[in-house]
Each structure stands twice: as C-alpha cells, then as structure tokens.
Amino acid sequence: MMSRLAVRALALMACLVLATCSVAGQQPMPSTLEDAACDVSSTLLFDGTAANRSISEQVDLGPRLPGSNASLALRTIMLEAAEANGWTAETQVHERHGMNLTNVILTLNGSAATPRTAVVLSAHYDSRNIADQDLNASNRSLPVPGANDGASGTAVLLQFISIAPQLNLEHDLVLFFNDAEDQNQNYTEGAEAWADNLTDEDVERIESFLLLDMVGDADLHLHNIEPGNQTLKQRLLALGAALGMVADQTDCAGELGEDIMRYNVTTAVIDDHIHPHALGIPSVNLMDPVYGESKSGTFGSYWHTMEDTPDKVSAESLERVGRLVEVALRTGALLDVDPQEQPEPNDPGSTATDVETSSAPSRNSGLLALGLVGLLLILGLIGTAEWYLKRS
C-alpha cells in the first residue's frame, strides 16, 4: 500500500467531522455471532507456528518481484499445495507499467448446488522492489525482505489451502494471491487488473472480499481501515472480541481481551481492497498500519525498509489473524453482507485517503451529518484530484 503526506490534512479533517470514523467501534455487538464464534473457538485449525515458518521460507526465496524466479518459486508452492488439496487453480498474466504481473486465483468449490456464491480472501505475494523509507540512504535502492509486507498475508492464505477443505463450506472460497501491489510508485496493480476483468456475474456472486496485509507484526494492533464495509468490520470486531482480541471485552472463556483489534482508531489506506470496494463488493482490509515505531506519514519505522525481517513477525500474531479469518468463515460472518455503505461504482474518489488519521469521537447528530455532506463532497473531489494527480 502507499502512504502520502499530501492528503493528511484532508483526511484528518474528514475524520474529525465524520461520525463514520469510529462507527465500527460504536455498534452494539451481535451476541448471536459471538455465541457462534465461541461454539467453534475450541476446535480451530489455524496454526501460527506453521504460518511463521512460511514467512522465513518466503523471505529465503529472495525478493518476490513480479517476473522474478523467486516469484515463480512462490507460485509453485501455491500451485502444488492447491493441487494436493483439491483446488482449481488459475493464473492470470497482465502487463502493467512494463511489468509482467501474475495473479494466482485458487477456487475451492462449496457444497451448495449451483449457482453458488463466493468469498474471496486476498493478499499480495510480491515484495517491494525498493526500501525507499530506509533511514540508510544506501539501502533505498535495495528490495525489502518483505517479511510482514507481503509474506504475512501470503502465509495466512497459504495455510487456508489445506485448512479450508476441512471446513465443509457451502459457498465457494477463492484465495486470490495478487501480484505487483507494491512496486516503485505503482500500487495495487494486480488487484486492479483482477477487478477490471470481473464480469457483472462475478461481482454479483462475490459475497465479500477480505484483504490481509501486514498482519504479522509481533506488536499487533489492527486498525479500523477505511474504506471498508461497516457491517463486515462490525462482525469481525464481534468475532475478535469472542477470541480475546478486543480490550475491555470478555472472550469465550470469560477473560478480558487483549488490545489487538483497535477499531476505535481509523486509518485510511489505499490498498488492494479499494478495487472490489469500488465495484460494490463488500470489502474489508485486515491490517496493522503501525509496523515498528509510529512514524508520521508512514506505516511505521520498519515499513518499506530493510528492517522488514522475519524476527519482527510472530507466530502469535499470525495465529490471531488466521483464527479470526477461520472463525469468520465457520460462522458465515462473511456472507449476506449489507452493501448499503458502498460507493457508487467506479468512484474511487470516496476512498482516496491513505494516510494515518486519528481516532475521533462519534457524533450521531443527523443535522450535523446533513450539514457536513457538502464538506464531504468537496473533500472527496479534492481527494480524487490528488489521487489521480499522484498516480499519473
């Protein structure tokens, strides 16, 4: 994902005045979903230690740059596991900005009769080609190790290749390993190419899109990432509370949770999920946007540096996130999502903020909201202009 200071002030202003900034943390918790989570919480399969091994394996391959041998080797790992576990595999090659990127789309058919719906889990499997945030100037032309930024989401998805067939899901499950998320000043290229090629029928049958990016940070704090579907966030927060991932909330065992899902803090991020979101598919990004020390205008002091190494990632964090996703699948939390808060199709302007923003008090005044619609429109237009200017 990318981060830019230029729209920081706009994002902060929008966040301070919009009730949606902390909406995910303000909703009543759907107790039935929490109960469903507790019913399966003692039989979860996701193994953080195995996921953590994958981090080192991926980093040991070398930089997973689009078109590289390391990228090919990682795809071979995906495809061999997919074949061994009964998935249908498809690779899609696109040429963008002089790169040949390769998306990998694995589908596990659900048990329901056709027509079937689908849930998409996605992560970028490329690693960034330049450590342009590194404090050491001589490192800035080197490719990052990508232990968290790249390998973490990929490690979680890789494990679902073997876990998902045991879950007896009725719907199809798609694991979308996207390429070229993070190359030079070109971001989310693989996800955009995938979204561009979806038919209306495809869009219609995708119930939800769940992105995992930078989920392995040993000091894990998942933020409320905007844009994102509020219903999905609310459900994930309820499931996370059941799994002990929300401070001041009791988990299934009656213990107080840890401060992991910090959904009272909103961070706006342009990432792969913006493309399905713009198509009206309920989409959400699970991400910890502070990797290392908090550093203004960035996603933390390790982000896009040579410090993004396996020792900064932990099995515990990967297990937290992997199990949250597993519970979401097993409880049906990713199905039948109200898309009411989706933007108009092809309107990325409403998603065009990508910098860290602060948490803000929720304000529910209808009058205030009405009065702010005009301001929002203006901010959206400015944001759109910024977004396109910076991308071009």
Q: How far is the CB of 259 from Zn ion (least distance, A)?
A: 24
Binding range to Zn ion, per CB under 5 A, among 36-44, 141-149, 250-258, 280-288 = 141-149
Q: Which is nearer to Zn ion, 181 or 251 (CB)?
A: 181
275 φψ region: left (φ > 0), alpha (ψ -120 to 50), beta (else): alpha
Residue 149 or 288 having the CB closest to Zn ion: 149
Q: Are 276 and 350 in contact (CB under 8 A)?
A: no
Q: Are strands 172-178 and 99-108 parallel, antiparallel or unpaired?
A: antiparallel
Whichever of 34 and 126 has its CB closer to Zn ion, that residue is: 126
Residue bearing tokens 């290229």: 189
Greatest Cα pair distance in the chain: 57
When asked if residue 308 is in the footprint of Zn ion (CB under 5 A), the reply is no
Total residues contacting Zn ion (rule CB under 5 A)?
2
For residue 82, the minimal CB distance to Zn ion (Å) is: 25
Angle at 108 between CA 287 and CA 120, to 5 degrees: 30
Interface region with Zn ion, contact rule CB under 5 A, candidates 13-21, 174-182, 198-206, 249-257? 174-182
Please tell me the distance from the alpha carbon of residue 124 to that of residue 122, in angstroms, as a whole number: 7
Euclidean distance between CA atoms 306 and 272, whole angstroms: 23
CB of 94 to Zn ion, least distance (A): 19
CA–CA dist 25, 14 (Å, integer):
18
Binding of Zn ion at residue 149 (CB under 5 A)?
yes
Single out the residue of 126, 182, 207, 271 in contact with Zn ion (rule: CB under 5 A).
182
Residue 298 beta carbon to Zn ion: minimum distance, rounded to whole angstroms: 10
Task: Output the smallest distance, CB 274 to Zn ion, in A.
Answer: 14
Integer Cα distance of 331 and 169 in angstroms: 10
Pick between residue 182 and residue 217 the one whose CB is nearest to Zn ion: 182
Please report how close the Cβ of residue 360 comes to Zn ion at its closest, in angstroms. 26
Q: Give Cα separations from 278 to 39, 208, 298, 349 (angstroms).
A: 35, 13, 24, 9
309-338: which residues touch Zn ion (CB under 5 A)?
none
Q: Which is nearer to Zn ion, 149 or 251 (CB)?
A: 149
Query: Per the omega criterion (within 30 degrees of 0), is the bond before 339 cis?
Result: no
Q: How far is the CB of 65 from Zn ion (least distance, A)?
A: 13
Of the listed pieces 41-49, 53-61, 147-155, 309-317, which binds Zn ion according to CB under 5 A?
147-155
What burial class does residue 17 get, using C-beta atoms within 10 Å of its C-beta: 0-12 exposed, 13-18 middle, 19+ buried? middle
Stretch near Zn ion under the rule CB under 5 A, chosen from 144-152, 226-234, 239-247, 338-346: 144-152
Binding residues (CB under 5 A) for Zn ion: these are 149, 182
